[in-house]
Amino acid sequence: MTATSTSIRGREIPDRLVPGWKRALKSWETLLFVVAVAIFIANSLASPYFLDPWNLSDASFNFTEKAIIAFAMAMLIIAGEIDLSVAAIIALASTAMGMAMTAGAPVPVLVLIGLATGLICGAFNGFLVAGLGLPSIVVTIGTMSLFRGLAYIVLGDGAFTGYPDAFGWFGQGYVWWVFSFELVLFVVMAIVFGILLHATDFGRRVYVIGNNATAARFSGVRVDRIRFILFLLTGLMSGIAAICLTSRLGSTRPSIATGFELEVVTMVVLGGVNILGGSGSIPGVVIAALVMGLVTFGLGLLNVPGIVMSIIIGALLISVIALPRLWKMART
């Protein structure tokens, strides 16, 4: 989403020679932050209830569960892959927790089952893509139907309800004042993935793979192993999201989290991650999550129907993918 050079007096100056503060001002993250501030101001003017601390806290529930997945999805897309089965993993993990709950399993076991289901689904996707060399978009479209279908086989038109009160804390509890557990978890995960992607050898290899997987392989990078780990991480984050979402709703239905995959991908691409791989940042995804959360919450305060919100999200995804191409065409 950022330019690779700056024009000074008709000459193209490489970005590495441009002062850091100028690059920061021109970055996609800076533009996105300005948009977030503008939306925040517009929401505060549109509704007198928006600035209430508890309402702002409730607004975080519009994006935290999706953002937790988006951090892992961002790394996966930077590496040139994608996982469209994340919402279906949530459904299957929630169903597995529901089955364990009806069998009398305690809360720690429910959490472990949610995490394990996410890891198993991620490992299955990773094996098909990294192990067998199948294209990730085709694989995860298939597993999206598979995982969701298993949830429907178990539940049909029914639902699991009656989760223990202690389990409800993960999706409804507060750590301190207006700061919910989900919001704190979002901040912690943002820091963890930010360090993982931007301050470790693993993160640098993810960028290398996304830019040129063949060259990375010849350079000694274990491409397939890293891809498998990224699918594991995405599955694990989907399992965590399943725990939070199931806890917040207090029930499990096979249709749970329907459409989450679209919103997660939109969040990642809006955050400046190149859908073709090779570039992007976690701070951008964090700001994009806040933008989408503010938009959704603001529209909700104005009683905008959910179907209109879906249209807006779809249009947003198309726009952020098309704008760089249109900008490039306009400059040539």
Gap between the Cα atoms of 271 and 257, Å rounded: 21
pLDDT tens-place values along the chain, 332 residues long: 444 445 444 454 455 555 555 666 667 788 888 888 988 898 888 877 788 888 888 888 889 999 999 999 999 999 999 999 999 999 999 999 999 999 999 999 999 999 999 999 999 999 999 999 999 999 999 999 999 999 999 998 899 999 999 999 999 989 988 899 999 999 999 999 999 999 999 999 999 999 999 999 999 999 999 999 999 999 999 999 999 999 999 999 999 999 899 899 999 999 989 999 999 999 999 999 999 888 888 887 777 777 787 787 778 778 777 776 776 677 66
Choose among 227, 218, 246, 222: nearest CA to 92. Answer: 246
pLDDT value at position 302? 76
Gap between the Cα atoms of 39 and 45, Å rounded: 10
pLDDT value at position 9? 47
Tokens of 293: 């959360």
Asked if residue 92 lies in contact with residue 115, where contact means CB atoms within 8 angstroms, the answer is no
pLDDT value at position 332? 65
pLDDT value at position 17? 52
pLDDT value at position 16? 53
Q: How far is CA 305 from the centre of its chain?
A: 23
Query: For the purposes of burial, counting CB atoms within 10 Å of the CB of 292, is it exposed (0-12), middle (13-18) or buried (19 or more)?
Result: buried
pTM: 0.89
Domains and CATH numbers, the chain: 52-331 (1.10.3470)
Asked if residue 283 lies in contact with residue 199, where contact means CB atoms within 8 angstroms, the answer is no
Asked if residue 140 lies in contact with residue 125, where contact means CB atoms within 8 angstroms, the answer is yes
Residue-level length of the chain: 332
